[in-house]
Amino acid sequence: MQIEMQKLFDIVKEGGALFRNREEAARIRVKGLSDYVTEVDFHVQELIRTRLVQEWPQVQLMGEEKDNSEIDFSKAVWILDPVDGTTNLIHDFRQSAVSLALYDGGKPVCGVIYQPYTEELFHAVPCARGGRSKGECGAFLNGKPIHVSNAKTMGESLISIGTAPYEHEYADRNFDLFKRIFLDCQDIRRLGSAAVDLAYVACGRTDAFFEMNLKPWDFAAGRILVEEAGGTVTDFAGNSPDFRKKGSILGSNGKIGELLVERYMNF
């Protein structure tokens, strides 16, 4: 299956434009511990769902704010996080993104992450699938090819962390890990959007990002971006993650991911 990417860009930009509605962002519902959803999340999902159905009626949608129990992953499926970084959105912290990926028959077809505040649109189309000419496949930021960093040592690395904010039972383990890594790298960052974190690894702004127990919509698009930008995405043991399931995610330029698994993540 091939997608006319410009159509997808227009759709995610239309969704991202809704982030600026501060009244809707203030209409908040609590989903669980530290876990919120706003009217913006629902509005963005509904708009994108409608547009996707108009263009590609045969493709299923897995979305954070809907029931996904009927999804058949052996067929084509969009994986959408309408607002990745809802807590940031509530605080007008300006680090949130629309994240949308397409998988077909278990294989990635394309991924898009749109950051409306900076108007940065990241996208990736896997080259491995063939049939695409040079310049059409790979990873891009606003249409220009991007690549992961060249960092080879912890001492030259800037590393982004995710705190698994909805699962405080892992806080001791997580913060111990953050401390050990912090002491060896240049510094750590906590952006508050896993999609943006992975997009930043893909374009070399950071050298690695990791977080326990992410959901498919948090990493589905970012994973394609990092891999097409020359990096790797694994779980904390260095194995390939399952895009259909919740799991721990480590995206990196490759080398720094290897170091993190070897030296810090062998709990």
- Candidate ranges 27-35, 71-79, 81-89, 102-110; the one touching Ca ion (CB under 5 A): 81-89
Among 16, 63, 116, 192, binds ligand IPD (CB under 6 A): 192
CB-based burial of residue 67 (10 Å sphere; 0-12 exposed, 13-18 middle, 19+ buried)?
Answer: exposed
By CB under 6 A, is residue 231 in contact with ligand IPD?
no
By CB under 6 A, is residue 24 in contact with ligand IPD?
no
In this structure, what token pair is assigned to residue 198?
Answer: 């992975």
By CB under 6 A, is residue 194 in contact with ligand IPD?
yes
Rg, the chain, Cα only: 17
- 81 annotated ligand binder: yes
Nearer to ligand IPD (CB atom), residue 99 or residue 234:
99
DSSP assignment, residue 230? T
* Rounded to 5°, angle at Cα 242 from 240 and 248: 75
Contacts of 62 (CB under 8 A, 6+ apart): 68, 71, 77, 78, 79, 80, 216, 217
Total residues interacting with ligand IPD, rule: CB under 6 A: 15
Q: Which does 211 bind (CB under 5 to 8 A by kind): Ca ion, ligand IPD, none?
A: ligand IPD
Contact 118, 203 (CB under 8 A): no
By CB under 5 A, is residue 218 in contact with Ca ion?
yes
Which residue numbers belong to the known binding site for Mg(2+)?
64, 81, 84, 218
Residues that bind ligand IPD (CB under 6 A): 64, 81, 84-86, 162-165, 192-194, 211, 214, 218
Interface residues toward Ca ion, by CB under 5 A: 64, 81, 83-84, 218
